[in-house]
């Protein structure tokens, strides 16, 4: 399912250290499939249409986990986009 670009907040390993980063997805990419590549299966992620600032940290407890089934991931994304506030509350901004 191709989607408009969105922001994916997730842990990314950089230089051996896991950091919270914000990905901007490409227009038209199937985000439910792409998250299997980054952040990868089993990793938590949060999805937003927009973000009010630069994210410096995130609370991933209870966040959706990347599933091998893209449809499951897209369903989780749809849920987060429909009511983003509880997920925005998990973020710390610069």
Residues that bind other proteins (CB under 8 A): 5, 8, 12, 14, 21-29, 34, 37-38, 54
The secondary structure element, H or E, covering residue 65 is none
Shortest reach from residue 41's CB to other proteins, in Å:
13
State which residue, 67 or 83, has the beta carbon closest to other proteins. Answer: 67
User: CA-CA-CA-CA torsion for 42, 67, 70, 76, nearest 10 degrees?
Assistant: -100
Shortest reach from residue 90's CB to other proteins, in Å:
18
State which residue, 26 or 71, has the beta carbon closest to other proteins. Answer: 26
The full length of the chain comes to 94
State which residue, 36 or 87, has the beta carbon closest to other proteins. Answer: 36
Shortest reach from residue 83's CB to other proteins, in Å:
23
Partners of 91 in beta bridges: 58
State which residue, 12 or 88, has the beta carbon closest to other proteins. Answer: 12
Partners of 71 in beta bridges: none
The answer to whether 68 and 33 have CB atoms below 8 angstroms apart is: no
- Backbone phi, then psi, for 48, in 5-degree steps? -145, 150
């Amino acid at each position: 399912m191709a989607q408009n670009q969105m922001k994916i907040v997730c842990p990314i390993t950089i230089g051996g250290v896991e950091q919270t980063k914000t990905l901007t997805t490409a227009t038209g990419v199937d985000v439910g499939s792409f998250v299997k590549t980054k952040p990868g299966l089993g990793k938590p992620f949060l999805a937003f249409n927009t973000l009010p600032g630069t994210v410096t940290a995130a609370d991933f407890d209870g966040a959706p986990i990347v599933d091998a089934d893209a449809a499951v991931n897209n369903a989780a994304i749809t849920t987060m986009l429909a009511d983003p506030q509880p997920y925005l509350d998990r973020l710390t901004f610069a």
